[in-house]
Amino acid sequence: MWIRCIFIFRAVFNYTIFLDIYSKKLCKSFGFTANVRFAFKCLLTSSPGYLVCSVLLMSVLILSYLIRIFERPYGLDYGAITWDSYFSDIWFIVITMTTVGFGDMYPSTTFGRLITIVAALWGTFLISILILSVGNIFKLNKNE
């Protein structure tokens, strides 16, 4: 499953305007390579809102699926009904990524806790990039 997700992610970035033959030739003339990291940086510069929101949405869906994989069997065995629906998993990941942490749901397995730590750190990073992108929208230039 993960290899498919990584393949889709790389396919999206490999077929952008920043990785066509002209871009690769231009990058080679300036002495650097046009790869997925270059396309990600260019997309972050040209359309930061679109990129950050799509990465945030993909992260929420993937991390909530992972937390569901590791926590649902444990919850079913011990009678915890908090991990019963996929929407509750999405709720948990969004609350964790925004570092609010209400405490109504918490992971019980080691892998669930590890995913929660990763979600909190990744969410902090994405929220900071979102704030930076919004700040750059309101940035004044010399003429203004």
Q: Do 63 and 93 form a contact (C-beta atoms < 8 A)?
A: yes
For 61-76, give the DSSP string. Answer: HHHHHHHHHHHHHHHH
CA distance 52 to 58: 10
Specify the pLDDT at position 109.
Answer: 87
From first to last of the 144 residues of the chain, give the pLDDT tens digit. Answer: 667 777 777 777 677 778 788 888 888 898 888 887 888 888 888 888 888 888 899 899 999 988 988 888 777 667 666 777 889 899 999 999 988 888 888 888 899 899 999 999 999 999 888 888 888 778 777 776
pLDDT at 94: 93
What is the pLDDT, as a whole number, of residue 2? 65
Query: Which domains, from first to last, does the chain contain?
Result: 1-45 (no CATH), 47-137 (1.10.287.70)
Task: For residue 72, give both structure tokens.
Answer: 């649902």
CB 83, CB 106: distance < 8 Å: no
d(CA 137, CA 144): 13
Q: What is the pLDDT of residue 1?
A: 64
Angle between helices 110-137 and 48-78 (to 10 degrees): 160
Question: Which pTM was predicted?
Answer: 0.76
Identify the CA nearest to 112 among candidates 72, 81, 77. Answer: 72
Sort 9 into a burial class: Cβ within 10 Å, 0-12 / 13-18 / 19+. Answer: middle
Radius of gyration for the chain, computed over Cα atoms and rounded to the nearest angstrom: 19
